[in-house]
Amino acid sequence: MEKLPDLAIILPVYNPRPGWPTHLENALRQLQRIFESIDYQVIVTNDGSTQHFDPAAAGSLAQRYPELRVLSYTVNRGKGAAIRFAMARVETKHYIYTDFDFPFGFAALRRVYDLLHEGRVDVVMSRRTRQYLRMLPPMRRFVSRALRWTSGLLTGFRIDDTQAGLKGFNRRARALFLTLRTDGFLFEVEFARKMLRRGLRYQYISVSPAKDLHLPNFSLRTLWREFKNWFRVLWR
């Protein structure tokens, strides 16, 4: 039987900011340093970007960094769909996903991996500090606080921060993740509820914002789409 790699790091991306190839190359170098002794892959999933994402630039990076793999499809489906698309196509022992801009820095990824590697938990979740929440634009801060309260309500106040963009899974948790049906960012609420029902073991780590982190506001289109998704999640 072929030996599985230790880790896949999944980075969903949609309409990245200009200059993203330089940002990604810097990130790949940081990951090489942090995971020097680990057999890992980096999976970028282009979630139907309509601007800025250049397949040629992505291909050039993949040639220079053999750990990088770029997946893409043409129609934007949402963050949850992008992560599932990658996770279904990669076989490793452990999985970590985070946002394309690495909002909590790189050391946090190693903390997640080390906890998974110890084998005591199936899922490692991140909890954002008050410092991070204060940095959010007003509408995004309001939505984040509302989601923290309602997520707690839906999970018996066992899970209070579902939306922090850094989580790690073992293969048991990955199998559950692939059953999700929510494509937008509320997929994490659906996962938290299923995780508790199945009795998966989980642990939180606290995360702080990286330096020079850019936090855009939500568009009205996104808010309306996720408002509808919220009611769908309630029935799943």
- The amino acid that residue 67 corresponds to is E
According to the model, what pLDDT value does residue 225 have? Answer: 61
Quick one: pLDDT at residue 126?
A: 93
Stretch 180-204: mean pLDDT, rounded?
92
- For the residues 151-156, what does the mean pLDDT come to? 66
- Check whether 141 has a pLDDT greater than 80: no
Distance CA 82, CA 101 (A): 16
Residue 44 to residue 51: CA distance in whole angstroms: 16
Confidence of residue 153 (pLDDT cuts 50, 70, 90): low
Q: What percent of the chain has pLDDT over 70?
A: 78
Regarding predicted confidence, which is higher, 80 or 2? 80
For residue 63, pLDDT beyond 90: yes
Is the pLDDT at 162 greater than 60? The verdict is yes
Q: What does the mean pLDDT of the chain come to? A: 87
User: With pLDDT > 90 as the criterion, what percentage of the chain qualifies?
Assistant: 66
Whole-number pLDDT of residue 160: 75
The domains found in the chain, sorted by start residue, are 7-234 (3.90.550.10)
Tell me the CB-side half-sphere exposure of residue 83, using CA atoms within 13 A. 31
Decide if pLDDT at 26 tops 60: yes
Tokens 């999700």 belong to 180
179 compared with 141, residue with greater pLDDT = 179
pLDDT of residue 124 exceeding 60: yes
The 10s digit of each residue's pLDDT in 76-90 is: 999 999 999 999 999
- Report the pLDDT value the prediction gives residue 159, as an integer from 0 to 100: 81
Give dist(CA 120, CA 111) in Å, integer. Answer: 14
The mean per-residue pLDDT over the stretch 194-218 comes to 82
Span between the terminal Cα atoms of the chain, in Å: 37
Distances in Å between the alpha carbon of 120 and those of 8, 116, 200?
19, 7, 11
Cα gap 200→194, rounded to integer Å: 9
- 145: number of Cβ within 10 Å: 12
Can you say whether the dihedral through the CA atoms of 227, 231, 232, 234 is positive or negative? positive
Burial 198-232 (b: 16+ CB within 10 A, else e): eebebebbebebeeeeeeeebeeeeeebbeebbee
DSSP string, 186-226: THHHHHHHHHHHHT--EEEEEE-PPTT---PPPPHHHHHHH
Report residue 19: phi and psi, to 5°. 90, 10
